[in-house]
Copies of this chain bind each other. A is one copy, B any other.
Amino acid sequence: MNCAEFRKFGKEIIDYIADYCDTIRQRQVVSSVEPGYLKNLLPAEAPEAGDSWPQVLQDLNRVIAPGLTHWHSPNFHAYYPTANSYPGIVGELLSAGLGIISTDQFPNPACVELERKMMDWLAKILDLPKEFMNSSDGPGGGFIQNAASESTLVALLAAKNRIILETGVEEGNLVAYTSEQSNSSVEKAGLLASVTMRLLRTDEKGQLRGEVLKEAINEDIRMGLTPCCVIATLGTTGTCSFDQLDEIGPICQQFKIWLHVDAAYAGSAFACPEYRHLMKGVEFADSFNFNPHKWMLVNSDCSAMWFRDIQSNELFIQIPDSRRFRALKLWFVLRIYGVEGIRTHIRGQIALAKFFQCLVESDQRFEVCTASMGLVCFRLKGEDGRTKELLDRLAKRKNIFVMPYYYQSRLVIRFVICSRFTEEKDVVFAWREIKSQVE
């Protein structure tokens, strides 16, 4: 493929994406293919001679399209959002086009410096502690990771290293804490880093509280263990609850325990001042992470992580040696949306969730169990069986995509505003779909 062909092919794909977005509302949100569907749609081996790009474009519709579950369909209400936006797509394109990478050995200037600047822009947008900023006088700083799970692992490794250096404690003695509501990747990080990860109970709101943490720490110290890290969550995966950072932070300080804050989904909401009270206590954090690639319109992967002291932890701040020019897409999104546009997006999505909550509450047959940010957990009153049947029907019809979740031992339906295309009419559509399967 020469450069002239690239111009044609590239522009065709731009139109393909634009058409895809324009028609996404009409597509069935969940793919209907059976597992293994693709096996026989493509040959067992790569072609010996190259094919033309129009052939590949044809195969997109034949091979790929049927197997897509459309995360950006306005009817996708499962899990959490994965971000996407037109400026983000173009930023990723440019990053691929320039093909610049930055490595430990060679920090490509534009790549490294734009990333530093963008991380400072983000820190200001969220009103994070100044010490986290790359431009601060101190040793703090931020950079882009692949995923929140990677940030958690990296924080835990740094915490482990710090305490071993400081106290000479044996590795097998280390213990870390998180809540039973935290993402499964936190427990996995414990396994990967060979640190015992205790899952502490939460209160009735799904929050980790200071008292519970303190009790666990004291218990472990009495047992001869060494507490090294707390992973607090702002916006848990199940119900988007917020650990009580202002209680947890001072305890971590008192016991000299590393505090990592995982705000993967909900962190984007701190762009809006009215939600910042939920991160009270963040000034105690040694590291902080949120994913612009979840809720801030920057497509995956772009997970933002800050260290209070990046200099002492250089070895631990990233696992892959080379890095793409991911700051470009972040720059495009922040420039073209502006902070105002980001806030409008966040508030809009929360308003849609509130609207859905009101619809549910207006129906006596249902009860809302939790509601936070873009997520509403609800159920049919009474036995779980009724909610289970409703979920089964919805899953079979594939008109909307929602997920089951167990909250306080009861089955609930998680309903999340995920797509940037979702509007009031889509929420009404979802609600009608749900109601139609009860009646």
List chain A positions with a Cβ less than 8 A from chain B: 1-3, 5-7, 9-11, 13-18, 20-22, 31, 33, 35-39, 42, 44-53, 55-56, 59-60, 63-72, 78-79, 82-90, 92-94, 96-101, 103-106, 108-111, 113-114, 116-117, 120-122, 124-125, 135, 146-150, 153, 157, 170-172, 183-185, 188, 191-194, 299-301, 315-316, 319-322, 324, 328-329, 331-332, 334-341
Q: Which of B10, B38, B104 contacts A93 (CB 8 A)?
A: B10
The 8 closest A-B pairs by CB, nearest first: A67-B110, A17-B97, A147-B320, A84-B99, A50-B338, A10-B14, A38-B113, A92-B96
Chain B residues within an 8 Å CB radius of A33 = 109-110
Contact: A97 with B89, CB < 8 Å? yes
Q: Closest Cβ of chain B: how far from A364's Cβ, in Å?
A: 33
CB-nearest residue of chain B relative to A328? B64
- Known contacts: A31-B110, A109-B67. The answer to whether A94 contacts B17 by CB under 8 A is yes
- Known contacts: A38-B117, A194-B171. The answer to whether A46 contacts B339 by CB under 8 A is yes
Oligomeric state, in number of copies?
Answer: 2
Q: Which of B7, B84, B121, B193 contacts A14 (CB 8 A)?
A: B7
Chain B residues within an 8 Å CB radius of A148 = 321
Chain B residues within an 8 Å CB radius of A117 = 38-39, 42
- Known contacts: A100-B68, A106-B78, A153-B319. The answer to whether A46 contacts B124 by CB under 8 A is yes
- Known contacts: A10-B90, A146-B146, A315-B188. The answer to whether A47 contacts B114 by CB under 8 A is no
Chain B residues within an 8 Å CB radius of A11 = 10-11, 14
- Known contacts: A16-B97, A44-B135, A89-B6. The answer to whether A38 contacts B319 by CB under 8 A is no
Beyond A6-B90, A38-B116, 7 additional pairs, beta carbon < 8 A: A3-B21, A7-B18, A11-B14, A13-B93, A63-B114, A68-B109, A79-B103
Chain B residues within an 8 Å CB radius of A64 = 110, 114, 328
Q: Which of B14, B48, B114 contacts A338 (CB 8 A)?
A: B48
- Known contacts: A33-B109, A38-B113, A71-B100. The answer to whether A50 contacts B300 by CB under 8 A is no
Chain B residues within an 8 Å CB radius of A90 = 6, 9-10, 13, 53
Contact: B10 with A69, CB < 8 Å? no
Contact: B101 with A82, CB < 8 Å? yes
